[in-house]
Amino acid sequence: MAENGPKTRYFYDRIADAHNVALRMNGYRASVARYLRSIAPDIGPESLVLDAGSGTGIITMGLYAAGYDPARTVTLDLSRRSLKIGLEQFGSEANTRKARISAVQGNVLQIPFADSTFDLVLSCGVLEYVPLDEGLSEFARVMRKGAKLVLIPVKPSIMGSVLEFLYKFKTHPLSSVRREAGKHFRIAGEHEFSLTEVMGWSKIVFLLEKE
């Protein structure tokens, strides 16, 4: 989930282990899995998936926990330590196909893949580190026509403000997310996690489709 240059990379390399423990304990994977099952994206054995700003791979594990088994999943993050932890975890998770997951160190503003590569992009808590329009534009570039983007931004809230302080990012107003997303995608849906889910305290989901 780390972006925006060397300082952010170093920050997430430093906190990766503790951050991963927190994410594993707070139920994010289960919340993502339930949501992905509910929208039933068209992901089959030939599909390519990108987890953009993957951190330690919690969202990717949610994808596999939901029962999807794409041909290849790419986890992309600035933090080498976070990617390493992710790969270690993928090997120990019963539902996660480590052999089909590639970890790539890179910046979401310069995704190292060709135009129209991916059938599904997942992104949680990374566009808060970059200009919103630039990030969404780059996601759209690497997505095929009809591909879905599951965008999970930090929503403005008390918890969002706490996370801003702890993780050194800036939350985008939801009105800005809708406006900028509409330049590149059809907004197919919005989802509020239940407040009984820890993810609901700080995150919201936008389901976007590249036309």
Quick: pLDDT tens for 121-132: 999 999 999 999
Q: 139 in a domain, yes or no?
A: yes
Q: 201 in a domain, yes or no?
A: yes
Q: 188 in a domain, yes or no?
A: yes
Handedness of CA 127, 199, 201, 84 (dihedral sign): negative
What pLDDT is stored for residue 38 in this prediction?
A: 96
Q: 119 in a domain, yes or no?
A: yes
In the chain, which ranges are continuous DSSP H helix?
6-25, 28-39, 58-65, 80-92, 132-142, 158-167, 174-184
Q: Which domain holds residue 59?
A: 6-209
Q: 135 in a domain, yes or no?
A: yes
What pTM value is reported for the model?
Answer: 0.94
The SS3 assignment for 119 reads: strand
Low-confidence ranges of the chain (pLDDT < 70): 1-4
Q: 64 in a domain, yes or no?
A: yes
| 8 Å CB contact between 163 and 154 | yes
Q: 1 in a domain, yes or no?
A: no
In the chain, the number of structural domains is 1
- CATH, residue 203: 3.40.50.150
